[in-house]
Structure 1
């Protein structure tokens, strides 16, 4: 409600996450679905979308993962943002993730990032979003600088359709 309106649609594969969101946003359409399989166009129903917020899973990009193998399926979640953006063309898309997403690249056969291909997938994703007519800007922000009780650094991106200037 911080923007003066309620969240229209929330999608998450995790039932607990959806239950918590329902508690905080009872007027929202809640979908417990795979983000790649959901037909978001069906729910948008041709209406204008001013803002889409996306926070793809960050665990397979985070340095908190240590040296453990990454999961390819989780690492490709930003592509779901592209899939839905291509179909509904929101005016603005805000994405939030860990800062390490900027190093997103292919994994070797053991699930480890390939150092010499660092940022390759990230750059492909940004280029794909730009191909839809979006300007791109990003910042790394520390939530504690804005009053939150955490010092974690997060990556925030804003994709804004050029025709909406």
Structure 2
């Protein structure tokens, strides 16, 4: 590996395809990357990304097999390509809805960018079940044919200081060199209690409000029966998570989705009250903190509440991507190994 790559001052120029609101880029930026381009089909996500990365060329369009680097204009050399192709139709979260062939093919839409830009490093992120996609092996072979040696790992955000259990697949590639596997840093998982605002910050209603759906009330009763009165906990407000419908605050939050689904049951003067988790809490659950390079806070200003929950639920936890990029590019953990 060239000596320059081991310099902590090296600025890695990066683009982010299927960028969403910029979770991957927020982590890459913290690792030392300069985001110069991004693309997403959803206008709310593209505006959110632009707000957080004003120096990047952000394109609001839907990628296809024909899409390539020309959409960015002349942005110069790109060292790192990050992509999070649409994952809805690889995931069990899709329920019984029919599969969409275009969404499942979206992993291929990165190939023209990779062949023509030939970045030194690539990171493709998706749900762990992408391994079961029938095109997965072909995509892997196509990347290898371009010259990338690959390391493929499933990583859990809870192992990287994120107070959420969130397993994702990372395909990491480098031209001419097989990336080392990402090692999990020594840490203790952060519990869901660490994301919560101070009691009384947000209004809450009686947990057994007469308008409460009976299924929700049953999940609340189950939590109280298990933990006892006076113990706060989280409940799945809509649908079910196939894990009992509630969880204690002593464990990392279960995986956030694009739906506004987690509520906090708290006790006030001996009465259980319920409120939904709020956007600042969900942002913490994804691991968004101040960017160590810019000192800025991640901004989530556009769209409805539902839109902003969707942006977070579709996102990548920045601390995980930060660790991946640091190790992959030689800045960070690889630099430490060489010392």
Query: TM-score normalized by structure 1?
Result: 0.82
Counterpart contact for 1:51–1:92, Cα < 8 Å: yes
Alignment partner for residue 31 of structure 1, among 44, 59, 64?
A: 59
Structure 1 match to 2:262: none
Q: Does structure 1 conserve the Cα–Cα contact (< 8 Å) formed by 2:67 and 2:112?
A: no
Assess if the C-alpha contact under 8 Å between 1:138 and 1:157 holds in 2: yes
In 2 relative to 1, CA 65–126 (structure 1 residues): closer, same or farther, beyond 3 Å? same
1:50 offset after TM fit, Å?
0.9
Q: What is the match of residue 145 of structure 1?
A: 159
Deviation at 1:163, TM superposition (A): 6.9
The 1:71–1:164 alpha-carbon spacing in structure 2 relative to 1, beyond 3 Å, is closer
After TM superposition, the structure 1 = structure 2 runs for residues 44-63 of structure 1, keeping only pairs within 5 Å, are 45=74, 47-63=76-92
Does residue 6 (structure 1) correspond to residue 45 (structure 2)? The answer is no
Q: Are the equivalent residues in 2 in contact too, given 1:6–1:25 (CA < 8 A)?
A: no
- What residue number does 2:48 align with? 20
Which of 73, 76, 94 pairs up with 2:123? 94
Superposition misfits of 4+ residues, deviation over 6 angstroms: none
Count of matched residue positions in the alignment of Structure 1 and Structure 2: 150
Q: Cα 1:132–1:87, aligned 2, differ >3 Å: closer, same or farther?
A: same
Structure 1: state its 5+ residue gaps.
106-120
The whole-number CA distance in structure 1 between the counterparts of 2:87 and 2:33 is 27
Q: Is the 8 A contact 2:36 2:75 kept in 1?
A: no
The answer on whether the counterparts of 2:35 and 2:53 sit within 8 Å (CA) in structure 1 is: yes
Change beyond 3 A, Cα 1:16–1:143:
same
TM-score by length of 2: 0.42
The 8 Å contact of residues 143 and 153 in structure 1, kept in 2 or not, is answered as: yes
| Aligned match of 1:114 | none
Q: Distance in 1 between matches of 2:85 and 2:68?
A: 17
| Paired residues of 1:91 and 1:164 also in contact (CA < 8 A) | no
Q: How does 1:144-163 map to 2 (within 5 A)?
A: 144-162=158-176
Deviation at 1:42, TM superposition (A): 5.7
The answer to which of 128-137 and 58-67 deviates more is 58-67
RMSD, aligned α-carbons = 2.1
**Are 2:105 and 1:76 aligned?**
yes
